[in-house]
Amino acid sequence: MKNRRVLLIDALNLFMRNYIVDPSLSTNGQPIGGTKGFIKSLQAVCRTINPDLIFVAWDGGSQKRKSMDKNYKAGRKPVRLNRDIHNMTAGEQEDNKNWQQERIIEYLNEMPILQSYVENVEADDIIALVSQSQALSEHHKIILSSDKDFIQLCDDTTILYRPIQKEILNKKRILEQFEIHPTNFALARAIAGDKSDNLPGVGGAGLPTVSKRFPFLSEEKAYTIQELVDYAEGVDSKLKVYKNIIEKREIIEKNYKMMQLYVPCISAQSAQYIRRMVGNPELAFNKTGVRAMMIEDGFGAYDWNDLFTLFNRITVENKEGK
């Protein structure tokens, strides 16, 4: 079998990007921009990548990581739209946002796309599991997300496409940009911290400082926290960063557990189910049903032909490969 291109989509990340900026309304006057924008973005990415398999991962919550740190993702500001939604209370807006996500799931169920939601499991862990699955080991994986957490998953067959930043990160570009190898990226970020997830670092050590003071993190070898501390203890320098590494080891250890995706935080039962889904995908395309939904939602007149052509190809090739 040829080396296939597998598109792995961080669903909530893609949805929120469109929900915030797309003012489209459905035929009954309800906001539908998140749903419409999601599918339009999918079409745009598929034009560029022309994938052979598409996998969409939904976020099931952060409870497992919050059990390790109650402050994880705490204090995040509410989503602010770039427009006012008139005649809708805050509760009605939240209901609409949830409905739009459910509507996307309904669309994807009619398309030749795999999707997964696991309660209390983040999409990051699902995508990590799929990217590491044996069934896709020789295929080219493209992760679609603006989330830096996925940098650690990049290797010879996996790249990260960050649409907001309009950048494609492969192993070579990551080394050039950060001077940190993907195998050590979670460790470097555990030192630096992550403000977006409310995970403070050791202080005075952003990624540029980490890469400069610990140059061996650019190597492919996966270094441990103990080796990091040993280096800090042995280096002939009075720089505060080395002292902080030694004194704040517990912060680094906690952050690393929260940030690392090398061992996804997911149950064995759920992991087995997802691996089976990816290893033996069941794909079908209900073109008539999708068109009817689009007409109902008010964007059926948009030109979806190239996306539908791709879906037809994926469906045929999936049947031929059985």
pLDDT classification of 165: cutoffs 50, 70, 90: confident
| Segment 211-254, tens digit of pLDDT | 999 999 999 999 999 999 999 999 988 889 999 999 999 999 99
Structure tokens at 301: 């007149």
pLDDT tens per residue across span 280-290: 999 999 999 99
Domains of the chain: 5-173+266-320 (3.40.50.1010), 177-259 (1.10.150.20)
Tell whether the model's pLDDT for residue 260 goes beyond 80.
Answer: yes
Cβ neighbourhood burial of 147 (10 Å; 0-12, 13-18, 19+) = middle
Strands of the sheet containing 53-58, edge to edge, are 114-117, 53-58, 5-10, 140-144, 158-162, 167-169
pLDDT at 242: 92
**Cα–Cα nearest to 274, from 64, 164, 125:** 125
Q: Looking at the predicted structure, is the pLDDT value of residue 82 above 60?
A: no
User: Is 261 exposed, middle or buried (CB count within 10 Å of its CB: 0-12, 13-18, 19+)?
Assistant: buried
Q: Specify the pLDDT at position 89.
A: 83
Find the range with the poorest average confidence among 56-65, 187-196, 262-271.
56-65
Of the candidates 197, 202, 287, the residue with the CA atom closest to the CA atom of residue 253? 202
- Tokens 């926290």, located at residue: 225
CA-nearest of 149, 121, 113, 5 to 58 is: 121
The tens digit of pLDDT for each residue in 3-45 reads 799 999 999 999 999 999 898 999 988 899 999 999 999 999 9
The two tokens of residue 66 are: 């919050």
- Per-chain mean pLDDT for the chain: 91
Please give the share of the chain, as a percent, with pLDDT higher than 90: 75
- Tokens matching residue 13: 């990340």
Query: Tell me, what's the pLDDT at 77?
Result: 66
